[in-house]
Amino acid sequence: MREFQISLAGQAIGIRSLYDEIFHLCRDYLSDRAELSFRVETRPEDIRFEQEKSLREAALEGKPAFLYPEPYLETLAVYRKIAARMPEYNAWLMHGSAVAVGVEAFLFTAPSGTGKTTHTRLWLEQVPGAYVVNGDKPLLRLRDGICEVCGTPWSGKESLNRNGIVPLRAICFLNRGVENRIKEISFREAAPLLLQQSYRSRDSLTMQKTMSLIRALGDCTHFYRLFCNMKPEAALVSWNGMRNNT
Amino acid sequence: MKLRYEFSVMEMDGEYMAVPVGENAEQFNGMLRMNDVSAEILDLLKEDTTPETVHRILRERYPDSDDREIGEQLAAFLNQLVREGLLIVP
């Protein structure tokens, strides 16, 4: 049993875990504030839920099913519990890779296997000063009409993340293409894609709050659709396409 | 007939989106995109009802609309829900 506190999206969160792995995962996000926003605690049934969910999804997608170590499954369970609470604090989990340049962040999102990781790597190689805020599951936060990307330690296989909060300049939906091209799209076109990539709470009120946050996002950022290949030019096309918009 | 799941619905830039919530929500990983009339139909399907009752309510709410058009829109939306396994039909 381990008990500690982390800070995510400006909120102090208490964690009581069964295994140590989650503590090590969160080592760059530890905090010691006097008051917690909320506390999460894992139980054996939460770990079983993650394993069963993984098996169900593998069966649905026709992929091989694996039994994962319980300490790893606990890290998933903890983030699920945190994600379920964050809409109360005007923040929510969106699947995607968030890359920052200077004081602005760009979120690349797409179904798994489209090439987010490759495009992120191209940005790191081609765009001076680019770094990853979170490579897989950042939190987005709305505050005073501004959307911000928040680092979290849950960041996919590459574990690319940084503990920081960066204003969001744009969200870019990736599609594979032969040629590299980017175009700005309307919120109406973006909305279903945003909803598809956001964490969905099973709780009706929390889901309603998440949807209202997504709707508010329409007023505070730009949306793009990028068709890209895996050549270095892809990063420059998306960077130049998004950086100059005001 | 009634909906298989509870839905959370929100209007976003003129289009209505609905995602399932509640105990069995993860069985349907998709979402519904609808106009305002279909969103009303979805709302009426929270409780056990019949196509005839829904049709009658819509005709009362839209007295100036063409009966046949309302019926066609209702049938198209109900068929979509059945195809996607979202409607429990006796």
Contact A204 B33 (CB under 8 A): no
What ipTM goes with this model? Answer: 0.90
Share of chain A above pLDDT 70, in %: 99
What's the gap in Å between the CA of B22 and the closest CA on chain A? 5
Q: Give backbone dihedrals phi and psi of A92, rounded to 5 degrees, phi first.
A: -155, 160
| Spatial contact of A140 and A91, defined as CB atoms under 8 Å apart | yes
Residue A245 has pLDDT above 70, yes or no: no
What's the gap in Å between the CA of B5 and the closest CA on chain A? 11
* Domain positions in chain A: 2-89, 91-243
DSSP string, A34-58: SS-SEEEE--HHHHHHHHHHHHHHH
Q: Which residues of B touch A207 (CB under 8 A)?
A: 8, 19, 21
- Chain A residue set in contact with B, beta carbons under 8 Å: 53, 186-188, 191-192, 195-196, 200-204, 207-208, 211-212, 214-215, 218
* End-to-end Cα spacing for chain B: 6
Q: Which residues of A touch B14 (CB under 8 A)?
A: 188
Contact A207 B8 (CB under 8 A): yes
Pair of tokens at residue A151: 């680092």
CA A26 centroid distance within chain: 15
Q: Which residue of B has its CA nearest to A212?
A: B10
* Distance of alpha carbon A166 from alpha carbon A9, whole angstroms: 10
Whether chain A has a CB inside 8 Å of the CB on B33: the answer is yes
Helix, strand, coil percentages (3-state) for chain A, rounded to 5, are 40, 30, 30
Contact B22 A202 (CB under 8 A): yes
Render pLDDT for A202-243 as a digit per residue (tens, 0 to 9): 999 999 999 999 999 999 999 999 999 999 999 999 999 998
For residues B74, B77, B83 and B84, what is the CA-based torsion angle, rounded to 10 degrees? -140
Contact B21 A215 (CB under 8 A): no
Report the DSSP pairing between strands A222-228 and A165-176: parallel
Q: Which residue of A has its CA nearest to B25?
A: A202
- CB atoms inside a 10 Å sphere around CB B69: 11
Render pLDDT for A169-199 as a digit per residue (tens, 0 to 9): 999 999 999 999 999 999 999 999 999 999 9
Measure CB to CB from residue A204 to each of B8, B15, B17 and give the nearest one.
Answer: B8
Whether chain A has a CB inside 8 Å of the CB on B22: the answer is yes
Average pLDDT over residues A45-52: 96
Contact B12 A207 (CB under 8 A): no
Contact A202 B10 (CB under 8 A): no
| Spatial contact of A207 and A198, defined as CB atoms under 8 Å apart | no
Cα atoms found within 13 Å of the Cα of residue A12, Cβ hemisphere only: 9
The CATH class for the domain spanning A91-243 reads alpha beta
Q: Which SS3 state, helix, strand or coil, does residue A20 take?
A: coil
**Whole-structure pTM value:** 0.93
* Distance of alpha carbon B10 from alpha carbon B33, whole angstroms: 10
Render pLDDT for A55-82 as a digit per residue (tens, 0 to 9): 988 888 888 888 999 999 999 999 999 9
| Spatial contact of A16 and A1, defined as CB atoms under 8 Å apart | yes
What's the gap in Å between the CA of B34 and the closest CA on chain A? 11
pLDDT in tens, chain B (90 residues): 999 999 999 999 999 999 999 988 888 889 999 999 999 999 999 999 999 999 999 999 999 999 999 999 999 999 999 999 999 998
User: Which run of H or of E encompasses A170?
Assistant: strand A165-176
For residues A149, A27, A210 and B29, what is the CA-based torsion angle, rounded to 10 degrees? 110
Share of chain A above pLDDT 90, in %: 89
Q: Check residue B60 and give left, alpha or beta (phi > 0: left; psi -120 to 50: alpha).
A: alpha
Identity at A206, one-letter amino acid code: T
User: Which run of H or of E encompasses A205?
Assistant: helix A204-217
